[in-house]
Structure 1
Amino acid sequence: MIDKLEMFIALANQQHFGRAAEECGVTQPTLSAAIKQLEDQLGVMLVWRGSRFKGLTPEGQRVLVWARQIVGDARTMREEMRAVKQGLSGDLRIAVIPTALAMVSDLTSRLRARHPNLRFTVTSQSSVEILQLLENLEIDAGITYLDNEPLGRLTTVPLFYEHYYLVTPANQARTSITWAEAAQLPLCLLTPEMQNRRIVNQYMAAAGAEIAPRLESNSVITLISHVLTGDWATILPLKTARLFLNSGELAACPITEPEAEHMVGLVAPPREPHTPVLEALISEARKLSDID
């Protein structure tokens, strides 16, 4: 039944029979037959059918909750038995908000030094996407904000506080700037679906400023490349800004009135026990945390 539940989860995630079959490495008829067998075993209809996928039935939505729990537990059991025989190995999938990508290497490098057979996949995602990917069992852990939006029931490890800085060309350096003053500059900022951008919007609004960025992107590299032309400025957390200051071409100054901070940390499914690999990641995150 585990294989059928995994196919059902894939179908719920992809919302398309063909894409779900491709994700599972089976043909579409095989996946459709597995879903029908699962329905027969459970005695309920799970999927509204037509010429294409039309969604889950109410019973299917409830079974999906159980399927994620059962499949998650089965994966944990398999990982634990593999760790007993081979030590920690395998793939660790981590999704990270763009402004925290600068610190991921601190975490992955420490973990790999202890467990050299681990492999990592790190993707940049919005905070909302990270929570959805965790729920769908598509990632093992995320790094996101812990104190600005509801997270639900998750395992969390605080890592650091974001402090917000204005990044400008070096010849436009200053010692500090207020949120209201920053709003008057030709800004390039992260796109509105990013929680960092929503935080920036909140502080601009509180300062009575109307924010109208000249450019928006979901890539920090894109923002920095525009600032390097000499015609733009951006707002980034200090940990991220520091990556680009060594060349001397850019400068960063704190944004005041108020001096804002928001907590960023590791999030993982609340399931206990965690897989050995995930438990090792959580342990390293706790050692790395600079929050008392």
Structure 2
Amino acid sequence: MYMPSIVDGVKVTDKLIMASRICDSVLVTGSNRGIGLELVRQLADSPLPPVQIFAGCRDPNGPRSQELAQKHHDVITVVQLDTTSPTSIAEASKLVEAKLKGKGLNLIINNAGVNIPGSLVETGKQEMVDVFTTNVVGPMLIAKDFHPLLCKAAAQFPHQTSMSCSRSAIINVSTLLSSIKRCPENFSVSPMYPYRVSKAALNMLTCCLAEDFRKDGILVMSLHPGWVQTEMGGPEAPLTTLESISSMLKVITSLTEKESGTLLDWEGKNIPW
């Protein structure tokens, strides 16, 4: 079995892929911790980072995001962004538009999400509504409000008909647990009604947006980061954030129109709906 060598904690193969710029501009939601924070860190630390990285955080003054922004002050802009608030999303889109100075936004990674573990007995209306609001309504409003900036980015490639993340794209962070087909295999281990149902709905949102935005040259797909050692994933998860994100960025870099409207895992393997 091929095992790529490791340099400075990153696979050599991933270093080579990240040697080319993934895109000129990117917005990552939920950037204050875990997967979102590591996404911003690896994007900023790549050999050729995006010109502008917008780190969306509910609390833009959080120590971890601020530390990263100070280290890469020429690249990272921390944006106040609460994906449960339509007002916050609208204000964030205005700020990003102003910072782009007439250019479009190439890539949105809808990472912000919540999980309220619960069996059917433990789950009530409010738990379902709260999780659905963050995991489904938030990404929908982000796509709606930022759509003009994504269209502008796609239009900056007038002679390019193919879709990619370097042109214009939305990546929705989903999960294996959203798969209806795979549910019988893993339900007993992780019932989690609100999380499973909301992420399945997010997958449908992905498919709808992929069809709706195809005419605009905007790629839309869902990506499962794996079970990762974060505050949400817990310490027993088999993947570190470094491993998960380096692999995710490798997949994101290689996406084409063939993957629009699909659900892949961090290794690029297809997950059935």
Normalising by structure 1, we get a TM-score of 0.24
Over alpha carbons, which structure has the higher Rg?
1
Determine which structure has the larger strand proportion and give its number: 1
Normalising by structure 2, we get a TM-score of 0.26
Which one scores higher on RCO, CA 8 angstroms, separation ≥ 6? 1
